[in-house]
Amino acid sequence: MMQDQKKKVLGIALIGVALAVLPFVIGMGFGNAWIRMLDFALLYIMLALGLNIVVGFAGLLDLGYIAFYAVGAYIYALLASPHFGLHWPLWAILPVGALIAGIFGVLLGTPTLKLRGDYLAIVTLGFGEIIRIFLNNLNAPVNITNGPKGIAGIDPLAKNIEIFGYPLHSLYLIYYLFVALALLIVFVTMRLENSRLGRAWVAIREDEIAAKACGINTRNVKLLAFAMGASFGGVAGGLFAGFQQFVSPESFGLFESIMVLCMVVLGGMGNIPGVILGAVVLTVLPELFRQWAGPMQMAVFGQTYIDPESMRLLLFGIALILVMRFRPMGLLPSSRRKAEFEHAEEGAQA
């Protein structure tokens, strides 16, 4: 017992040290572009963990999840940019963003309570599109979102600083901010998973009627799933806006929703380490493809036949097909899903 405890503490300490030095190792080895990507991976981890609550825990297929990210991003953009002349501090905006995104989550959840499966999927998809179209067009009659041009000049999350005369790029500070918030979200979702509420979500996922019969208030529990998933998305969105210092409706299309869903499913739905892995793999892999696709063709054929950008998407599509083909339950499935899957396999063979 003591041994286990000690091992656990040691493990956490090791992960902590690794996370702390990671940006320096990557920054030395590959340059700032890769730290930027690391920051993006952390953003996607937060997003994917939020969606995981809705899709992975509660089993509600949401194809418009990016809408909440958009809401968070625009809240940040409106409250901290010259657009309205407001410059709120980060720590004041994030809770507001989370709250408003959560309200949007309930707004989406309420009319869809009765819907199941794919009907829910298409309504959430429509909801995401509605939000995007409004962002695109709310520049008239009153200019709120600045339309397709987007909002620029957003206050940055951090500035370049000097520590003991040693210059530190803002990307490092942003990295630590993102790591801290991502760890907070990981912690919250881990606690949720084993809570009364988390078990209620799983019960609804497995069988809604049985869950109801067991005394679970399915309406409230489902709405809570939407609201919590949405508020995580809202936080990630706010960070995204401050990180990019620019938002436009283009960043919040259906393809982004699908990307986040792919992270959740590919990594292993409902399993927190799996979802994190999925987010990291799907952020890093396409970037690697993009960087290598050009030079590799040069080396092999002496000229570039296929444009690296489309090569990236092509390989990405093929990777999605292959991973699902050989690991249909995801890269790191939760033990419960794995057991279910093996059970189903046996059933099919019998």
Partner 1 sequence: METFVQQLINGLTLGSIYALVALGYTMVYGILGLINFAHGEVVMIGALVALAVYKALAATLLPPLLILLIGLAVAAAVCMALGWAIERIAYRPLRNAPRLAPLITAIGVSIVLQQFAMLFWGRSYHSVPALLPDTSYDVLGARISAVQIVIMLAAAASMAALIILVQRSKLGRAMRATAEKPEVAALMGVDANRIVALTFIVGSALAALAGVLVSANYGIAHYQMGFLLGLKAFTAAVLGGIGNIGGAVLGGVLLGIIEAMGAGYIGDLTGGVLGSHYQDIFSFMVLITVLVFRPSGLMGEKVSERA
Nearer to partner 1, 2 or 142 (CB): 142
Q: Is 95 in the site for partner 1 (CB under 8 A)?
A: no
Sign of CA dihedral 137, 139, 140, 143: positive
Positions in 175-234 near partner 1 (CB under 8 A): 207, 209
> Among 114, 159, 299, 302, which residue sits at the site for partner 1 (rule: CB under 8 A)?
114
The one-letter amino acid code at 272 reads: I
Q: Is 92 in the site for partner 1 (CB under 8 A)?
A: no
> Among 15, 24, 87, 118, which residue sits at the site for partner 1 (rule: CB under 8 A)?
118
Q: Which residues contact 84 (CB under 8 A, 6 or more apart)?
A: 78
Q: Is 279 in the site for partner 1 (CB under 8 A)?
A: no
User: How distant, in Å, are the alpha carbons of 58, 139, 339 from that of 344?
Assistant: 21, 52, 9
Decide if 64 contacts 231 (C-beta within 8 A).
no
Q: Is 300 in the site for partner 1 (CB under 8 A)?
A: no
> Among 269, 277, 279, 280, which residue sits at the site for partner 1 (rule: CB under 8 A)?
269
Sign of CA dihedral 241, 243, 246, 247: negative
Decide if 65 contacts 233 (C-beta within 8 A).
yes
Q: Is 250 in the site for partner 1 (CB under 8 A)?
A: no
Sign of CA dihedral 191, 188, 251, 127: positive
With contacts defined by CB under 8 A, name the span among 172-180, 225-233, 259-267, 289-297 that binds partner 1: 259-267
User: How distant, in Å, are the alpha carbons of 75, 171, 271, 304 from that of 159?
Assistant: 21, 9, 36, 39
> Among 96, 122, 152, 331, which residue sits at the site for partner 1 (rule: CB under 8 A)?
122
Nearer to partner 1, 97 or 150 (CB): 150
Nearer to partner 1, 173 or 324 (CB): 324
Q: What is the number of other CB atoms lying within 10 angstroms of the CB of residue 25?
A: 10
Q: Is 55 in the site for partner 1 (CB under 8 A)?
A: yes
10 Å CB burial of residue 350 (0-12, 13-18, 19+) is exposed
Positions in 307-326 near partner 1 (CB under 8 A): 310, 313-314, 316-321, 324-325
Chain CA centroid to CA 116, Å: 23
> Among 262, 276, 279, 293, which residue sits at the site for partner 1 (rule: CB under 8 A)?
262
With contacts defined by CB under 8 A, name the span among 22-30, 72-80, 161-169, 254-262 that binds partner 1: 254-262
> Among 70, 75, 125, 223, which residue sits at the site for partner 1 (rule: CB under 8 A)?
125
Query: Rounded distance, CA 345 to CA 339, Å?
Result: 10
10 Å CB burial of residue 48 (0-12, 13-18, 19+) is buried
Positions in 13-32 near partner 1 (CB under 8 A): none
Least Å distance between CB 327 and partner 1?
A: 9
What would the two tokens of residue 325 be? 């083909």
User: How distant, in Å, are the alpha carbons of 171, 269, 340, 343 from that of 347?
Assistant: 51, 22, 10, 6
Nearer to partner 1, 68 or 243 (CB): 68
Total residues in contact with partner 1, by rule CB under 8 A: 52
The one-letter amino acid code at 347 reads: G
Nearer to partner 1, 28 or 140 (CB): 140
Q: Is 143 in the site for partner 1 (CB under 8 A)?
A: no
Chain positions contacting partner 1, by CB under 8 A: 55, 61, 111-112, 114-116, 118-119, 121-123, 125-127, 129-130, 133-134, 136-137, 140-141, 207, 209, 254, 258, 261-262, 265-266, 269, 306, 310, 313-314, 316-321, 324-325, 328-329, 337, 340-341, 344-345, 348
